[in-house]
Amino acid sequence: MVIPSINCSDFAAAASQIKKSEEFSEWIHIDVSDGKFTDVKSWGNPDELKSINTKQNIEVHLMVENPDEKALLWLEAGVKRIIVHVQTIRDPRSLMSLADNYSAEIMLALDPSQSIENTHPYLKEFKLLQVLTVFPGLSGQREQSGWAEKIKSLRELSPTATIEVDGGMDPMDARIAKDAGADIIVSGSYIFSSPDPKGAYEELNSI
């Protein structure tokens, strides 16, 4: 599966990309950076998301200091999946119980600063895992080394987990990610910087 990623500084840009992606994708991924956990701040207003009234399934990547506190607002806005970073999560069982109440999922993210060992306490509970190939925040970064090896390690540790990879994904990286064991590719710049976003999405999806 390929999910288009939105990382915008304002609501108008985010709404435009969401509307555009409705033409070719059933899912959309929204990056929310708070400028504290990350170096930059992006658009991230769940009340404004409600006004778009999209029929897409939405996953929200909470690159924030306090995802446990922010999760409820996004769940109330109708998102189907919330992604939280392993170093920010405080009460995983409570967070997963909250998501269950809204028929939503929680995915655990591992960014380049975090080792595979940091996921070990959570692998029995989390069956959705993300490997972020870049540092949280700015879109369009160059990938850090070692991300494919992390995917392979997570696949060995959790054979039945759904593994998502996010950050700088183009066709070459998508093939590497698939071969390493990833199930979901998240791509923003490659799709939305293309003169033909639908074509770029379908190229990735064909892989």
Any idea which fold 2-206 has? TIM Barrel (3.20.20)
- What local confidence, expressed as pLDDT, does residue 154 receive? 96
CA distances from 107 to 52, 71, 117, 199 (A): 24, 12, 17, 28
Q: What are the tokens at 17?
A: 């990309």
> DSSP letters of 71-106?
HHHHHHTT-SEEEEETTT-S-HHHHHHHHHHTT-EE
CA dist 29 and 128 (Å) reads: 15
- What local confidence, expressed as pLDDT, does residue 140 receive? 61
> DSSP letters of 158-178?
-TT-EEEEESS--HHHHHHHH
CA distances from 161 to 2, 18, 116, 149, 177 (A): 17, 28, 14, 16, 15
- What local confidence, expressed as pLDDT, does residue 75 receive? 97
- Which residues in the chain show pLDDT less than 50? none
- What local confidence, expressed as pLDDT, does residue 105 receive? 97
pLDDT in tens, 99-110: 999 999 999 999
